[in-house]
Chains A and B, each alone.
Chain A
Amino acid sequence: MIPAAFDYVVADSADAAVAALAEHGDEAKLLAGGHSLIPLMRFRLAAPAMVVDIGRLDDMSYINDAGDHIAIGAMTKHRALETSDLLAAEAPLLGHVAGEVGDPSVRHRGTLGGSLAHGDPASDLPAALLASGGSLAIKGPNGERVLEAPDFFTGFLETALAEDEMVTEIRVPKAGGVGWSYQKFNRRAQDWAIVGAAVMLGPNPKVALVNMGSAPMRHNGVESGLAGGAGLDAASVAGDDVDPPEDLNADAEYRKHLARVLVARGIAEALG
C-alpha cells in the first residue's frame, strides 16, 4: 500500500529538524531509517502531513569513547552497532542486541535513535538500553536535556519526547568485563520477540523485559533478587508485577512463563 500524501523536507542539521518540528507541531514526523514509520504510513496507521527527513545527518552517526561511557549518535544504524569493535569491548550487550534486530536489510537502514524514539515494547534495543543503564540526550527549541532510559519510555509507542524534540545522542556506561545476556524468543525467522530478556550483572544488576508490558520496562523484583545474591532464583519472580499483552502468539500466562524461563537463561549465561 502507498502512504497518504505528505510534504517532505530534508533537514540539513539537527537544529533545522527541531525548527521544522516546532513549526509544524503534531502534523510533523521525523524520518530516520524509516523502518518503523514507513510500514505504519503504508497501512495509514500514521499519516503525517509533513515528513522531516533526518536520514542525511551523517554527523549524527558515530560511536565514540567518551571516558566513562560510549556516546552513540542517534542516526547510527543497527549494522554499525552490530559490527563496532568499540561496542564489542565496552558495551557488548548493546552491540549484540543490534545484531538481533530484524534481518540484515532492516539493519542496513534502521537507526538506534529511531528504534528508541518509536517506544515499542516489542523492540529489542530499548531493553538493551534499559539493562545497560543508558541515557538519551534530547534537543528541543530551548536547548538540550538528558533523560535516563527509564524516564524516557512512558507508554505504548509513547516516550517523554515533546512534539518539537529529537534524540541526538545515546550514552551507555562502559561495562567491559561485566556479565550480560540477551534472550530473544520467537518462532519465525526475522520476527519480533514474543518475549525477550536483557540481563546485565555488576554492582547494580539490571534486567529489562521485551513485550511484557505496555512500555519497554525494567523488572525491579528480579533486580533486587540479583542484588541480594539470589542468583538464578531471582528469575522466579520475573512473571510477577507485570501486565503483558495478549495476542495470537501468546496469552498473558504464557508470556509470564516465558519471562521466568528467559530471565533464568539470561542470568545463567551472564554468570557464565
Chain B
Amino acid sequence: MEVSMSVNGDTQTSDVEPRTLLVHHIRDTLGLTGTNIGCDTSSCGACTIHVNGESVKSCTMLAVQADGTEITTIEGLAGDDGELHPMQAAFMECHGLQCGYCTPGMVMAASSLVAENPEGLDETAVRQGLEGNLCRCTGYHNIVKAVLAVGDTA
C-alpha cells in the first residue's frame, strides 16, 4: 500500500506492507537509524518520535496509520545549520546520557513534554512525564536536570 508522510520536513512516499511497524519503516525504508528499538513490549520508549508534534512510540504504530502525518525523528530536531535543539544541548550540558541508547527517544519524549507544558514543569512532572522511557545507565538524575533546564524557561 502506498503511504506518504512528511518526515523531518521532506515528503516521503513509499510502498509498505500494512503490517510494517512505523519504526521499521523509518529505520529500514527511510534509513533514519537514529530512532532505536529497545523492546518488544511498547515499554522502553527508545523508539519515541513525534507524530503531528506529539510523542509516540513508533513501534506501536503501523506505517499505514502514519499516512498523511507529519513525523519528526531525532535527525530532524537540530537546525539546518546543525545548531542543536535546546533539549539536545541541555542533554549535552547536563551530562544526560551515557551509552546513548535511550537518548533519541528520551529527547523526543522530553521535547514533546516541554511543548505540552508551556507553563513550566517541576521535577515530579518531569519524572512522571518521562515514565514511558527507560534508561539503563544514568539513573535518570541528569536527564531530569536537562529537561528542567529547558522546561523551566519554556
Contact A53 B64, beta carbon cutoff 8 Å: yes
A49 to chain B, nearest CB (A): 11
Q: Does B65 contact A (CB under 8 A)?
A: yes
**B54 touching A108 by the CB < 8 A rule?**
yes
Cβ contacts under 8 Å, A102 to chain B: 132
Interface residues of A in 1-54 (CB under 8 A from B): 1-8, 31, 34-35, 38-39, 41-43, 51, 53
**Interface presence of B21 (CB below 8 A):** yes
Q: How far is the CA of A51 from the CA of B129 in the complex (A)?
A: 31
Count residues of chain A with CB under 8 A from any CB of chain B: 29
B residues within 8 A CB of A3?
Answer: 19
Contacts known (A1-B40, A8-B1, A106-B57); A190 close to B131, Cβ less than 8 A: yes
Pairwise interchain contact A104-B62, C-beta atoms closer than 8 A: no
Q: Convert A48-80 into 0s and 1s, putting 1 for each residue whose CB lies closer than 8 angstroms to a CB of B.
A: 000101010000000000000000000000010
Docked complex Cα distance between A237 and B131 (Å): 34
Tell me whether A53 and B48 are in contact (CB under 8 A): no
Give the distance to chain A from B129, nearest Cβ to Cβ, in Å.
6
Q: Check if B43 is an interface residue, CB within 8 A of chain A.
A: yes
Asked whether A265 is an interface residue with its Cβ less than 8 Å from the other chain, the reply is no
Those of B51-71 within 8 Å (CB) of chain A = 51, 54-57, 60-62, 64-65
Kindly supply a per-residue 1/0 record for chain B positions 42-54, scoring 1 wherever the CB is within 8 Å of any chain A CB and 0 otherwise: 1101001001001
Q: Does A189 contact B (CB under 8 A)?
A: yes
Proximity bits, A109-124, B CB within 8 Å = 1, else 0: 1000000000000000
Cα(A26)–Cα(B45), bound, Å: 33
Residue ranges of B at the interface with A (Cβ–Cβ < 8 Å)? 1, 17-21, 24, 40-43, 45, 48, 51, 54-57, 60-62, 64-65, 109, 112-113, 116, 129-133
- Which 8 A-B pairs give the minimum distances between C-beta atoms? A103-B132, A8-B18, A189-B131, A108-B54, A3-B19, A190-B131, A105-B55, A103-B131
- Known: A2-B19, A38-B60; 14 extra A-B contacts, CB below 8 A, are A8-B1, A31-B62, A34-B62, A38-B62, A42-B40, A51-B18, A103-B130, A104-B112, A104-B113, A105-B48, A105-B109, A106-B42, A106-B57, A190-B132
Provide 29 A-B residue pairs closer than 8 Å at the C-beta atoms, listed in order of the A residue: A2-B20, A2-B21, A5-B17, A6-B18, A6-B19, A7-B18, A8-B1, A8-B62, A31-B62, A34-B60, A34-B61, A34-B65, A35-B42, A35-B60, A38-B61, A42-B21, A53-B64, A79-B54, A103-B130, A103-B131, A103-B132, A104-B109, A104-B116, A105-B57, A105-B112, A106-B132, A109-B61, A189-B131, A190-B131
